A and B are shown apart, each in its own frame.
Chain A
Amino acid sequence: AQSVTQLDSHVSVSEGTPVLLRCNYSSSYSPSLFWYVQHPNKGLQLLLKYTSAATLVKGINGFEAEFKKSETSFHLTKPSAHMSDAAEYFCVVSLSGNTPLVFGKGTRLSVIA
């Protein structure tokens, strides 16, 4: 079975400082991994995805994530937080095309001016 654990339910950073949102996964096979972002009262938008190509994945808005198989991790980072980054972030794992994606419970990112 596959599962996703987002290690922090809430992260607070100051504007201009680095962002780190942590995600660990459990999967018997090589998974695809995704990060989604949800701004208040909005739908979910894909930030980036890992599908067994390069282990360092670059996404939109300056975010990136590194797939580390030995650590079963897929942490999301950004060098410098903006106020507009305040949102809920979801780490997601998928095994194959016909199986449901499994969502973590989300990490709420607050950015302090």
Chain B
Amino acid sequence: NAGVTQTPKFQVLKTGQSMTLQCAQDMNHEYMSWYRQDPGMGLRLIHYSVGAGITDQGEVPNGYNVSRSTTEDFPLRLLSAAPSQTSVYFCASKGTGKGAGAGTGELFFGEGSRLTVL
């Protein structure tokens, strides 16, 4: 049971490049989300999903795209990276109800991906 797995752990990009941060979970969780963490700002929600085929915007969605084609995977895409997107990114998942993957509502986090945009 690996939990939430994020790749890559570190990435350096040039302004204007695109990339995808991968996130996978093996807990059959319906809810998945992406946060960015910046000094003094806490964790800010970028996008989230409550199930395959369903996504919604969080607090800071601009410049980021997501899709949810399977329960397990929730990739985050940067279409044209900007220096303001330099941050640490966390993927997190939780169970939302009864049955497989249900839990008591806490988020399970990946180890983070540190992105630098030059």
- A residues engaging B (CB < 8 A)? 9, 32, 34, 36, 42-46, 49, 51, 90, 92, 94, 97-98, 100-101, 103-106
Contacts and interface: CB of A to CB of B under 8 A. Distances in A.
A36 B109 CA distance: 10
B109 to A, nearest CB: 5
Contacts of A46: 106-107
Closest 3 CB pairs of A and B: A97-B96, A105-B42, A44-B109
Contact of A104 (B31, B42, B94, B110): B42
B61 interface: no
How many of chain B's residues touch chain A, expressed as a range? Answer: 20 to 34
Interface of B: 30-31, 33, 35, 40-43, 45, 48, 50, 58, 90, 92, 94-97, 104-107, 109-112
Given A43-B90, A49-B104, A97-B96, A105 B41 contact: yes
